[in-house]
Structure 1
Amino acid sequence: MSKYIVVDGDQVIFSPTFTPAIAIGGLKTKINGTGHAQISGKSICIDGDEKQVKLQNIKYTSGSFTTPGDCYLTIESLNYDQVANHVFSKKKVIIVGSSFTAKLTVTKPAQMPNPPNTTDPASVYMGSGTFSSTNNFVKAN
């Protein structure tokens, strides 16, 4: 089944759930396309462009650590159905597909209200996210 090709400026939407952590706030950013080919004047996104996506200054909580901590979100890996197998632009092309694996990296641990100074021991949580493409013309599979 063909899916739309992701292009420069398309939205990256992170799910708030990074079990047991929850990311708080606007969980959207954009991906920069570096492919040579263009769709409607925008560069296509190619395999590897997802590694440059980083959503910073995000708050999170986790379980009983209800005083928010700070983190950033990145794309850990694409799902098999998010890379076109039959379209190449030196590298494979990213398509909308299902959901990618996302990573929440803690920069300031969330805390428990009681006892004071008890901080979240985890430094990383895994979750997911999706792409939303402005391209509604060109598909690939």
Structure 2
Amino acid sequence: MSDIIIVNGDQLQFDPMFGNRQVTVTGPAIISGSGQASINQQKMCILGDEKKVQVFAQYQIPGYSPGMGLLTIAALGRDQQARRCASGAALLLKGQQFIARFTPTQLAVSTNQGPDVPAPSMGKGRFIPKQSFATAG
């Protein structure tokens, strides 16, 4: 089954909960495409472009001061890459959800318990494509 192709500048939406951390995006949540082909003058996103995504975010834990960190794409869903591609690199597709990682860069602090743990936490996200006519599968 085919799905919408992701292109340069498409938005990303992250679920707010990453374990016990409530994450709020504070920077642009977009993906940059590096494929050779384009749709509407925007390069298509190919496998590997998801690894370059870094989105700034603030996080909160009840009882802690706010902290800061980075959201990244840890792994694509099985339905988020084209199975066959003539150009050699698989195209990224809208699919359902990808696995996202939140890594604190400035830890939230509690007056009672001290700073949050620096370990990353996992969550989910999805692509929000701006075009809907070009598909692949």
TM-score normalised by the chain length of structure 2: 0.91
Q: Assess if the C-alpha contact under 8 Å between 1:33 and 1:45 holds in 2.
A: yes
Distance in 1, matches of 2:69 and 2:43, equals 30
Q: Is 1:22 aligned with 2:22?
A: yes
For residue 101 of structure 2, give the secondary structure of its aligned residue in structure 1: strand
Kindly tell me: are residues 65 and 111 of structure 1, through their superposed partners in 2, closer, same or farther at Cα, counting changes over 3 Å?
Answer: farther
Which residue of structure 1 lines up, in the alignment, with residue 77 of structure 2? 79
For residue 30 of structure 1, give the secondary structure of its aligned residue in structure 2: coil
Runs of 4+ aligned structure 1 residues displaced above 2 Å come to 24-28, 86-90
Q: What is the CA distance between 1:65 and its match in structure 2?
A: 4.4
Distance in 1, matches of 2:28 and 2:42, equals 19
- 1:112-123 alignment, distance < 5 Å: 112=110, 114-115=111-112, 118-123=114-119
Which residue of structure 2 lines up, in the alignment, with residue 55 of structure 1? 55
Which residue of structure 1 lines up, in the alignment, with residue 91 of structure 2? 93
Aligned residues: 137
- Deviation readout 1:35-90 (Å, 9 max, x if unpaired): 0011121110000001111012x21123x443111111111111110001123432
Distance in 1, matches of 2:25 and 2:48, equals 26
Moved more, 93-102 or 78-87: 78-87
Distance in 2, matches of 1:7 and 1:45, equals 5
- Aligned-partner residue type, residue 32 of structure 2: N
Distance in 2, matches of 1:103 and 1:11, equals 17
Q: Is 1:135 aligned with 2:131?
A: yes
Q: What is the CA distance between 1:137 and its match in structure 2?
A: 1.0
Q: Assess if the C-alpha contact under 8 Å between 2:25 and 2:55 holds in 1.
A: no
- Aligned-partner residue type, residue 123 of structure 2: G
Q: Assess if the C-alpha contact under 8 Å between 1:16 and 1:27 holds in 2.
A: no
Q: Assess if the C-alpha contact under 8 Å between 1:100 and 1:130 holds in 2.
A: yes
**Structure having the larger proportion of residues in strand:** 1
For residue 92 of structure 1, give the secondary structure of its aligned residue in structure 2: coil
Question: Runs of 5+ in structure 1 lacking a partner?
Answer: none
Q: What is the CA distance between 1:2 and its match in structure 2?
A: 1.6
- Deviation readout 1:100-131 (Å, 9 max, x if unpaired): 0100001111112x42x611124211001000
Q: Assess if the C-alpha contact under 8 Å between 1:4 and 1:140 holds in 2.
A: yes
